[in-house]
Chains A and B, each alone.
Chain A
Amino acid sequence: MIKSTMVEFLQDTLLFEFDDNITEKTDLFKEGIIDSYGYIQLLNYIKSTYGIEFTKEEILSNVITNLSDMVKLIELKITISQ
């Protein structure tokens, strides 16, 4: 569920589609899909959709660059909060 929601958000907001070339492991920064504005949009979306906050340490260490890591981090934060 989280994954499909994030896929939909990323594709609609950043105007691309996951396929054989852009997979859930692809670094979306390196591919030129996320820029500074997209990164901020992404963080705001995760915060508002899942009601979670990131600590400064998490922001600096868990840099969200690919779908797989994003989903793992969101699931972890939700589990901790529960």
Chain B
Amino acid sequence: MKKFYGKIISGSQWRWLLPILAFLFVFGLCEFDGPLYPQPVVRLTRVQNERPQRQVDNFNNVDHTTQQHVSGRLLNTSRQGRLVRFSNTFSASGALDTRLRVGQSVFVQRQNGSYQLQDVKRDGVVLGLLAATLTLMALVVKRRVWLTFGSLLANVILLLITLHLETSPANQQLAYLLFSGMAVLFTLVTTVFIAGFSRQAAVIATATIGATALAVALGYGLFNLTQYRDLHIEAMNYVTQVPQLLFFVQIIIGSLGAVLDESNDIAVAVMQLPRDSKRRFKAGMAIGRNVMGPLIAVLFMIFIADTFSESILWLRNDNALTQTFIWVMGLGFAQALVSAFGIVLAVPLTAGLATVTGKGATDEHI
């Protein structure tokens, strides 16, 4: 018992508490950032709930709505410190509303002298979790941490540039080309971060771009061959432009990371082997076979889970399961399948390229 206790508190184990501290620190800091916002922010000091009202719709869904009388103090603007009152209604399901609690900060809007709830303030949680994640990574990857952060940061910056270029009106016609170009640039920047300027990086980048291009070509070939039967691209969410373009962008960008990840795994392993083409290619294929399944699962779970809320809403509104699957889950599923093409095609492509390119590690030392 004593030994166990001693082990838990002994020196370095404490460091695993750092992510939690980082979260609390940033979360706490954001409690004081109200003055930075142009929009009025209120911290709630009192919340009174009325009795829940039972609601039944024509599909026999039973829900409860509750009205809240809320008061709080303004944290910014020229009226800082003043007490304001407003009301809020929340439902037990909470699709578009939320239950307010004392101590929470919210954005309000001033209309004709009275205040209305606009939205909940979320920066504390978001930035706090970000701080916790980065701290945790720094603890685990140690010296590689700058490389990891640098690669992520470079991608975020590239992303912002793409978005700005894409949404400037002059470039609308070129959008497909622009995004394909950006995908190539994303690949190049990320591979340089992973493998430096090396022959290995060239193999990874070429295989990634090649496999993604092939996968998209195969996907679109099949879409056209089956005349988009049951695939409703027009059902995409958040459409500000042609939905076809958005779907194309989502497919390319979505699979890029996974294909890159896999090509890297294969290339690194194969290029360490001695120069025996047959053995190298076989080893590459074996590694690829092992990683492709889990990688497909990563993207599949992300794309499908994203459709959950809407699917359940559809089913509860008396839509048939097949309708719900086709219209809501279908796009995520198609995206996962085309990405899977890329992940599978990258295996022979990378193994092949890594086999023919460059000498084996043992050769280079001779």
The reply to whether chain A is a binding partner of chain B is: no
Chain B interface residues toward A at CB < 8 A: none
Chain A interface residues toward B at CB < 8 A: none
